[in-house]
């Protein structure tokens, strides 16, 4: 808390043609021998973005261009927002407040290195194999591909599990051959699957149960019946899993996870004890309802139900997952803004933080552009 703060920058620079990021092998503290994106200290007479442009050029010979500043009035300028701001412990006495920028080169120039350093364009695979900090590796991989390749999961799943998941995914694709107008289609199933396995690996949970439940949890979401979609979904999932040869004990666990995936701690439903796998499926599903993807899906859902963008007369009742009549902004207030605090696992709580912040930023901007006031949540 009381440590000296120094302003620094770090730039994740894309080479879009090759889907690579620029990294420098450091020969100075902190992180000697580590591969990190170019960056360094902000000098006294620089803004962070000016420091970012200079550091990239000095350390690598590459140039990236951003609009440096924008005039607000005769004495105030606005500079581009960093992608994130991190605080990093350097030693007992000082910390770096690190402005993280993401940019792309306009055209590739020959790489130039400072003495004793190495500079390389690294692919996602390269980044996996060089020494670097965990947060840098995770962030770089997120930037290079929206989701992990299924191939990457092979190292965590045994051959039989992998094969069974593939079979069920094929069955699911056959079953869900139409696009989902509500944002609950195959793409949602895939993202939930990757979220779920990511969490399950960290939590040492049963990967097959989590993977299958995530893929199948909303299989009946768009079917109109008088039952809840998790009841129909659990039944359809059972049939698809039988066809794919999933053993009965696994099917039963998946069935339970699907039945429980829409139990919210902030709803009227009774709290019950959930298995670790069930908690992870909930977390994985909820992560896809927040952040940029959550915003996109919220408006898809609202549009498909013919709902208003915002209804000032709307009363925000306690959450009811079966009610599809809320306006889009009403849905943020009654559900999306509550999801961060409803995450079960520590890892999902960590992932939810950034997505929740992004929603708040979006709502503030919406308010400034449209005057939609929202409620007491933001």
Minimum CB distance to Fe ion, residue 188 (Å): 6
Span of 197-205, 245-253, 264-272, 283-291 interacting with Fe ion by CB under 5 A: 283-291
Cβ–Cβ < 8 Å for 101, 47? no
Q: CB under 5 A: which stretch of 146-154, 171-179, 208-216, 218-226 binds Fe ion?
A: 218-226
Nearest residue (CB) to Fe ion, 50 versus 324: 324
Q: Helices H, strands E: what count in the chain?
A: 13, 9
Contacts of 288 (CB under 8 A, 6+ apart): 188, 191, 192, 195, 294, 297
Nearest CB to Fe ion, comparing residues 13 and 293: 293
Binders of Fe ion in range 50-79 (CB under 5 A): none
User: Does residue 63 contact residue 11 with C-beta atoms inside 8 Å?
Assistant: no
What one-character DSSP code corresponds to residue 130?
S
Note whether 98 binds Fe ion by CB under 5 A.
no
Q: Which among 38-46, 68-76, 95-103, 210-218 is the span making contact with Fe ion, rule CB under 5 A?
A: 210-218
Binding mask 293-322 for Fe ion (x = CB under 5 A): ------------------------------
Nearer to Fe ion, 83 or 222 (CB): 222
The stretch near Fe ion (CB under 5 A) out of 23-31, 108-116, 201-209, 284-292 is 284-292
CB of 143 to Fe ion, least distance (A): 25
Q: How far is the CB of 44 from Fe ion (least distance, A)?
A: 51
* Distance in Å, CB of 357 to Fe ion, minimum: 22
Joined tokens for residue 144? 């290079």
Question: Which region, left, alpha or beta, applies to residue 372 given φ > 0 means left and ψ of -120 to 50 means alpha?
Answer: beta
Nearer to Fe ion, 24 or 209 (CB): 209
- 285 makes contact with Fe ion (CB under 5 A): yes
Q: Which of residues 20-39 bind Fe ion (CB under 5 A)?
A: none
Cβ burial, residue 341 (10 Å; 0-12/13-18/19+): exposed
- In the block, which residue shows the tokens 């439903």? 269
Q: Counting contacts by CB under 5 A, is residue 232 touching Fe ion?
A: no
Q: Report DSSP letters for 269-322, one per residue.
A: SPP----HHHHHHHHHHHHTTSHHHHHHHHHHHHHHTT--S--TT---PSP-TT
> Segment near Fe ion (CB under 5 A), from 19-27, 47-55, 106-114, 214-222?
214-222
Smallest separation (angstroms) from Fe ion to the CB of 50: 44
Nearer to Fe ion, 98 or 277 (CB): 277
Q: How many CA atoms lie within 13 A of 183 on its CB side?
A: 17
Give the tokens for residue 327: 């306006």
Nearer to Fe ion, 237 or 241 (CB): 237
Closer CB to Fe ion, 203 or 285, in the complex = 285
Query: Torsion-angle region of residue 123: left (phi > 0), alpha (psi -120 to 50) or beta?
Result: beta
Nearer to Fe ion, 277 or 285 (CB): 285
CB of 288 to Fe ion, least distance (A): 7
The stretch among 70-78, 89-97, 112-120, 217-225 that binds Fe ion (CB under 5 A) is 217-225
Question: Rounded distance, CA 320 to CA 302, Å?
Answer: 15
Instruction: Report d(CA 358, CA 79) in Å as an integer.
Output: 19
Cα 357 to Cα 146: distance, rounded to the nearest angstrom: 19
Backbone Cα Rg of the chain: 24
Q: How large is the angle between the packed helices 229-243 and 248-260, nearest 10 degrees?
A: 160
Q: Which is nearer to Fe ion, 59 or 285 (CB)?
A: 285
- Is residue 283 involved in binding Fe ion (CB under 5 A)? no
Per CB under 5 A, does 218 bind Fe ion? Answer: yes
Which residues, listed in sequence order, are joined to residue 102 by a DSSP beta bridge?
Answer: 12
Q: Which of residues 106-165 bind Fe ion (CB under 5 A)?
A: none
Binding site for Fe ion (CB under 5 A): 218, 285
């Amino acid at each position: 808390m009381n440590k000296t703060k120094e302003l620094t920058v770090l730039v994740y620079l894309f080479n879009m043609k090759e889907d690579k990021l620029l990294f420098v092998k450091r020969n100075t503290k902190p992180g000697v021998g580590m591969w990190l994106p170019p960056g360094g200290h902000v000098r006294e007479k620089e803004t962070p973005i000016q420091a970012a442009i200079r550091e990239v050029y000095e350390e690598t010979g590459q140039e990236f261009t951003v609009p440096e500043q924008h005039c607000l009035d005769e004495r105030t300028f606005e500079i581009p927002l960093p992608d994130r701001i991190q605080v990093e412990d350097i030693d007992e006495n000082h910390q770096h407040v690190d402005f993280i920028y993401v940019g792309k080169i306009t055209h590739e120039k020959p790489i130039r290195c400072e003495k004793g350093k190495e500079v390389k364009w690294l692919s996602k695979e390269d980044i996996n194999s060089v020494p670097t900090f965990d947060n840098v590796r995770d962030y770089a991989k997120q930037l290079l591909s929206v989701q992990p390749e299924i191939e990457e999961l092979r190292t965590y799943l045994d051959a039989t599990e992998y094969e069974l998941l593939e079979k069920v995914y094929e069955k699911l694709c056959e079953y869900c051959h139409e696009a989902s107008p509500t944002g609950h289609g195959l793409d949602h199933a895939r993202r939930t699957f990757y979220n779920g396995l990511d969490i399950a690996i960290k939590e040492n949970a049963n990967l097959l149960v989590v993977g299958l439940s995530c893929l199948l949890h909303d299989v009946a979401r768009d079917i109109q019946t008088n039952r809840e979609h998790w009841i129909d979904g659990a039944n359809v999932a059972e049939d698809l899993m039988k066809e794919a040869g999933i053993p009965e004990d696994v099917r039963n666990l998946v069935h339970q996870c699907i039945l429980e995936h829409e139990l919210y701690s902030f709803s009227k439903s009774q709290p019950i004890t959930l298995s670790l796998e069930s908690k992870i499926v909930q977390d994985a599903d909820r992560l896809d309802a927040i952040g940029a993807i959550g915003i996109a899906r919220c408006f898809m859902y609202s549009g498909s139900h013919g709902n208003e963008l915002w209804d000032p007369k709307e009363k925000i009742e306690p959450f009811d997952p079966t009610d599809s009549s809320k306006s889009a902004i009403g849905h943020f207030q009654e559900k999306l803004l509550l999801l961060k605090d409803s995450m079960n696992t520590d890892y999902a709580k960590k992932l939810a933080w950034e997505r929740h912040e992004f929603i708040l930023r979006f709502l503030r901007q919406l308010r400034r552009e449209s005057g939609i006031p929202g409620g007491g949540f933001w």
